[in-house]
Chain A
Amino acid sequence: MTKVFTDGLSFALPLLIMAVGAIYSEKSGVTNLAVEGFQGFGAFIGALAAVLLMPHLDKSSQIPIYVAMLFAAVGGGVYACIHALLCINFKANQVISGVVVNILAVALTTFFTSAANTALAGTASNKFILGVSNRYSIPLLSKIPWIGGLFQKMYPFEWIIIGLVVFFWYLMYRTRYGMRLRACGENPQALDAAGGKVVRTRWIAVIISGALSGIGGICFAYSIMANYSPSIYMGYGYLAIAAMIFGNWSIPATVLVCLVFGIAKAGGQQLCIAMQLPGNYTDLFNMLPYILTMLLLIFFSKRNHPPQASGQPWDASRR
């Protein structure tokens, strides 16, 4: 049981940071289906930075992880500029832009991973071997019965993500930028008439979205996968979008949804082990979060309130 909580949390938090990114973009009025591409591209840049750095450091050094997170954020943010440019400046259809950005990310990162491996190691592998981050348990808290699992064997990035989520929650609901951002996604005319800058607000939001997605991606690479490869495009980005929708575009609610997803996934795996089913059944149980997604969609999509202006390009001349 404790393992369900431990694994659940380590899956839920990277998902959450991607969902928070998606919320930023959508709350500013830019529909974001590009999370999958952002996280993949961000993770690629992070992983590349790590493999370049690793030969110069001690084998057990944990420094590359933090460097990778930083670069993943930068990479995701830079890559998100494509989506921002298409949606905000060129007023493209935002759904199509999101899909295009995703497809482009898969193609670009697969190609450049092999190219980088050829240059570095001489083999055209499509993987960067990263290893798995160290894990730490919190004294005392981890001894609590049942939920103690939440505090056992934590990846350090989990703490960073929790900090980031708190910071970005505060930014959205308590600060001037957040107030303008939320107005921008509801009624950009109102913000414009009040003297705010719609284009700038949306650009910043989409870049934040890319950066947070990149962090989510590299955390998956350093935990479940232990390497960077095209299998990073597992659909976690879409799961993050689903979490955002069930969370009704609210950060606190999305935290809960991500926890439920994480625990469902970890629970499925433990169930599979407990029932002593052959390993290939794991895939079946891995479907749990997605089935949950479909069920929740049926019940929750009706009373949701998406940002009113999400998906609509802002045209300053049409006031």
Chain B
Amino acid sequence: MEEYIVEMRHITKRFPGIIANDDVSIGIRKGEVFALLGENGAGKSTLMSMLFGMYTPDLGEIYVKGEKVEFRSSNDATARNIGMVHQHFKLVDNYTIAENIVLGVEPMTRRLGIFPSVDMKRANREIAQLSKEYGLEVNPTELIQDVQVSVRQRVEILKMLYRKAEIMIFDEPTAVLTPSEIDFLLRIIDGLRKAGKTIILITHKIEEIKQIADRCAILCRGRLVDILDVQTASVQEMANMMVGREVSLTRVKSEPHFGKNVLEVQNLTVLNEHRFPVVKNVSFSIRSGEIFAIAGVSGNGQTQIADAVAGLEVASEGAILLNGKQITHDSIRSRAQAGISYIPEDRQSTGLVLDFALSDNLALRQYPKKPYSDHGILNFGRIRENAVTLIDRYDIRSGQGPKTIVRSMSGGNMQKVIVAREIEEHSDLIIFVQPTRGMDIGAIENIHRYILDERDRGAAILLISLELGEVMDLADTIGVIFSGEMLKIAPAREMTRYEVGRYMMGVKEA
């Protein structure tokens, strides 16, 4: 067992109600990229949080460099040269890059030979040098709030390097990146491996594992399924092990049958609260039976387009037509009744009333109409019946059926509630904003099937997604948005993944 730099033996960790890790044993070799693959809730992050000292295992032992360790806090792990890049970065926005890196291990000097003070000059120098050494170009004196997500991630990596980490844990590092940034990150990870570091990569994206990892442990519902050599394992095999059943990785799309124009957006401009245009003169149209996907990096105005069509945002200029009729100045409800369904980005605040019962949430659209209400009096019997039907049809899992308080449900099931409610309207236009964000392969497969079914039924679909893979899989037509402008609109089969990725970065001529 000498060959392992990290060994976790028979680890079990329970949280109230669930077993997060059940007798998991893994060994990691020095200098390899070791991937942990699994769905959300499979226990990957919990397992690594124990290696990083944030939790202590209920049962089992951890060995680092052959020595048994018992970490009480992440400081203990840091002292053993273990570092971690968390999924949500832990940085201070109004500090410089260098200040963020040295925070907690500040180099000190004495001013005028007496007064102790943090030596930022030395810190800036050391970090500039460190960032050059590993190809992580950053400007140490820039403020975090002024730099992009990919740079913030480099800062997190530099934080580990500055603390002399030998074993580096990355928790879902690519979730926030664009395709070209992902390539860059994978190159960085490769560079770190060449420099002799040991990398542990937590992810649910198999293609990344294929690109970079040496070995891969697959977790499913808290248990270790297998440890594979990435070179020899197939993608399908890994996906099946991860989900625990046969999954289809390819979306079977029938030939499109486009009908008449359902939605027309003409020269739409939307201003934000500072009167600054976030959507600039955007025009497009969607036919019935067509999936129109807007690809783009987060925050480039795509949500505002969806909100403007649904009526949540005011269009300051331009026109929105549904089935040829002006709806630009209509209220949200009259648009919904005219035939728009909306699956919003923020499930919890825009999509649901978390402290209402499941049955009430499923009736949020129809409640003012017969038979759910009559002369303003709600008919709870009908609302319940409706809920029972939809719970069955959409396989919505909850603790107490129709009367479950939605807040207590899992994110995936919350999304099913919204999808069920909105799809059941059989609207002419259905808007999906990030419909599968944070969901795992099995659930994604289901949502994608619903989207394709609605398209085949003849609905016009506006899909807004940050996942380029999702856009490429589903779209009939792709529009790429950058900084509020629609840079390119083209049929999906005429665009490659890389072209779309380049437009997403604002490159006009690919």
Binding site for B on A (CB under 8 A): 170, 174-176, 179-180, 182-183, 186-187, 189-196, 305, 308, 319
24 CB < 8 A contacts A-B: A174-B118, A175-B116, A175-B118, A176-B106, A176-B116, A176-B118, A179-B103, A182-B92, A182-B95, A183-B95, A186-B93, A186-B95, A187-B92, A189-B90, A190-B90, A190-B91, A191-B104, A192-B90, A194-B105, A194-B159, A196-B103, A305-B94, A308-B93, A319-B54
List chain A residues, Cβ under 8 A from B92: 182-183, 186-187, 190-191
In the complex, which residues of chain A have a beta carbon less than 8 angstroms from the beta carbon of B108? 176
A195–B105 Cα distance when bound, in Å, is 8
**In the complex where A170-B115, A179-B118 touch, is A191 in contact with B103 (Cβ < 8 A)?**
yes
Instruction: Tell me whether A186 and B115 are in contact in the complex, defined as CB-CB below 8 angstroms, given that A179-B106, A196-B103 are known contacts.
Output: no
Q: Report if B373 contacts A (CB, 8 A).
A: no
Q: Does B139 contact A (CB under 8 A)?
A: no
The DSSP consensus for interface residues of chain A is helix
CB distance from A247 to the nearest CB of B (A): 16
State whether B115 touches A194 (Cβ < 8 A): no
Q: Is the CB of A190 within 8 A of B54?
A: no
B211 close to A (CB within 8 Å): no
Question: Given A179, A182, A195, A305, which contacts B75 in the complex, CB threshold below 8 Å?
Answer: A195
Q: Are B111 and A174 closer than 8 Å at their CB atoms?
A: yes
Find out whether the CB atom of A180 lies under 8 angstroms from the CB atom of B93: no
Identify which of A174, A182, A190, A195 contacts B74 (C-beta below 8 A).
Answer: A195
Distance of A196 Cα from B74 Cα, bound (Å): 10
A187 touches B115 (CB 8 A): no
The answer to whether B382 has its CB under 8 Å from any CB of chain A is: no
Residue B446 at the chain A interface, CB threshold 8 Å: no
Q: Is B359's beta carbon under 8 Å from chain A?
A: no
Would you list which residues of chain B between 213 and 252 have a CB under 8 Å from chain A? none
Q: Indicate if B210 sits at the interface (CB-CB under 8 A).
A: no
One digit per residue, 1 when the CB lies within 8 angstroms of any chain A CB and 0 when it does not, for chain B 114-155 equals: 011110000000000000000000000000000000000000
Q: Is B100 interfacial (CB-CB < 8 Å)? A: yes
**Nearest chain A residue, comparing its CB with the CB of B104:** A194
Which residues of B are found within 8 Å of A182, using beta-carbon distances?
92, 95
Residues of A contacting B100 in the complex (Cβ-Cβ under 8 angstroms) = 190
Residues in A with CB closer than 8 Å to B103 are 179-180, 183, 190-191, 194, 196
CB <8 Å contact, B105 and A193: no
Q: Which of B103, B108, B111, B159 has the most CB of A within 10 A?
A: B103
Partner of B94 from the list A179, A186, A191, A194 (CB cut-off 8 Å) is: A186
Q: Are B116 and A193 in contact (CB under 8 A)?
A: no
Residues of B within 8 A of A196 (CB): 103-104
Mark interface residues in B162-191 (1 if CB within 8 Å of A CB, else 0).
000000000000000000000000000000
How far apart sit A186 and B143, CA to CA, in the bound complex (Å)?
14
Residues A180 and B104 in contact, CB atoms below 8 Å apart? yes
Query: Which residue of A180, A182, A194 has the most chain B CB atoms within 10 A of its CB atom?
Result: A194
Asked if A195 and B104 make an inter-chain contact with CB atoms under 8 angstroms apart, the answer reads yes
Report B-chain residues with C-beta under 8 Å of the C-beta of A319.
54, 86
Bitwise interface map of B from 380 to 421 toward A, beta carbon under 8 Å scored 1, else 0: 000000000000000000000000000000000000000000
Whether a CB of chain A sits under 8 angstroms from the CB of B39 is: no
Closest Cβ–Cβ distance, residue A195 to chain B (whole Å) = 4
- Number of B residues whose C-beta is below 8 Å from A? 25
- The distance in angstroms between the C-alpha atoms of A186 and B90, with both chains bound, is 11
- Shortest Cβ gap from B97 to chain A (Å): 13
Q: A174 near B90 (CB under 8 angstroms)?
A: no
Residues of B within 8 A of A179 (CB): 99, 103, 106, 118
* Bound: A186/B94 CA distance, A: 8
**Measured between C-beta atoms, what is the minimum distance from A251 to chain B in Å?**
16
Query: B304 in the interface, Cβ–Cβ < 8 Å?
Result: no
Complex interface: chain A residues within 8 A of B303 (CB): none
Indicate whether B203 reaches chain A with its CB closer than 8 angstroms: no
Please give the distance in Å from A202's CB to the nearest CB on chain B. 15
Smallest CB-CB A-B distances: 10 pairs: A194-B104, A193-B90, A195-B104, A174-B117, A190-B90, A194-B103, A195-B75, A186-B92, A189-B90, A183-B92
A194 to B116, CA, bound (A): 21
Q: Which residues of B contact A187 (CB under 8 A)?
A: 90-93
- Give CA–CA (A249, B27) in the complex, Å: 50
CB of A180 to closest CB in B, whole Å: 7
B78 interface residue (CB < 8 Å to A): yes
Residues of B within 8 A of A192 (CB): 90
Contacts of A176 in B (CB 8 A): 106, 108, 116, 118
Shortest Cβ distance from residue A27 to the other chain B in the assembled complex, whole angstroms = 11
Q: What residues of chain B lie closer than 8 Å to A174, measured between beta carbons?
A: 111, 115, 117-118
CB-CB under 8 A from B90, the residues of chain A are 187, 189-190, 192-194
> Shortest distance in angstroms between B467's beta carbon and chain A's nearest beta carbon?
26
CB distance from A177 to the nearest CB of B (A): 10
A319 and B90 CA atoms in complex are apart in Å by: 9
Most buried by A among B92, B105, B115, B159: B92
Instruction: Tell me, rounded to whole Å, the shortest Cβ–Cβ distance linking B152 to chain A.
Output: 11
- Complex Cα–Cα for A183 and B144 (A): 13
A103 to B136, CA, bound (A): 54
A193 touches B74 (CB 8 A): yes
Which residues of the partner chain A approach B159 to less than 8 Å between Cβ atoms? Answer: 194
CB of B44, distance to nearest CB on chain A (Å): 16
Q: Which residue of A lies closest to B117 (CB)?
A: A174
Contact between chains at A193 and B86 (CB < 8 Å)? yes
Contact with A along B59-100 (1 / 0, CB 8 A): 000000000000000110010000000101011111100011
Query: B84's closest neighbor in chain A, by CB?
Result: A193
Chain B nearest CB, measured from A311 CB (Å): 17
* A179, A180, A182: most-surrounded residue (chain B CB, <10 A): A179
Residues on B with C-beta less than 8 A from A308 are 93
Give chain A residues whose Cβ lies under 8 Å from the Cβ of B95: 182-183, 186
Chain B residues within an 8 Å CB radius of A190: 90-92, 100, 103
Residues of B close to A180: CB separation below 8 A? 103-104
Query: Complex Cα distance A189/B84, Å?
Result: 14
Residue on A nearest B111 in the bound complex, by CB? A174
Bound: A174/B115 CA distance, A? 9
Taking CB atoms, residues of chain A closer than 8 Å to B94 are 186, 305
Cα–Cα distance between A224 and B93 once the two chains are bound (Å): 43
Give A183 to B102 CA distance when docked, in angstroms: 12
Nearest CB in chain A to that of B78: its residue: A195
Nearest CB of chain A from residue B366's CB, rounded to whole Å? 37
Write the nearest CB–CB distance from B62 to chain A, whole angstroms. Answer: 19
Chain A residues whose C-beta falls within 8 Å of the C-beta of B104 in the assembled complex: 180, 191, 194-196
The CA-CA distance from A308 to B91 in the complex, in Å, is: 12
Residue of B nearest to A187 (CB): B92
Contact with A along B314-356 (1 / 0, CB 8 A): 0000000000000000000000000000000000000000000
B-chain residues with CB within 8 Å of residue A191 when the two chains form the complex: 92, 103-104
Contacts of B116 in A (CB 8 A): 175-176
B202 to chain A, nearest CB (A): 15
* Residues of chain B with a CB closer than 8 A to A194's CB: 90, 103-105, 159
Min distance, Cβ A306 to any Cβ of chain B, angstroms = 11
Q: Within the complex, what minimum Cβ distance (angstroms) separates A189 from chain B? A: 5
Give the complex CA separation of A189 and B87 in angstroms: 13
CB-CB contacts below 8 Å: B463-508 with A? none
Report the minimum CB–CB distance from B101 to chain A (whole Å). 9
Give the distance in Å from the alpha carbon of A186 to the alpha carbon of B106 in the complex.
Answer: 18
CB distance from A40 to the nearest CB of B (A): 33
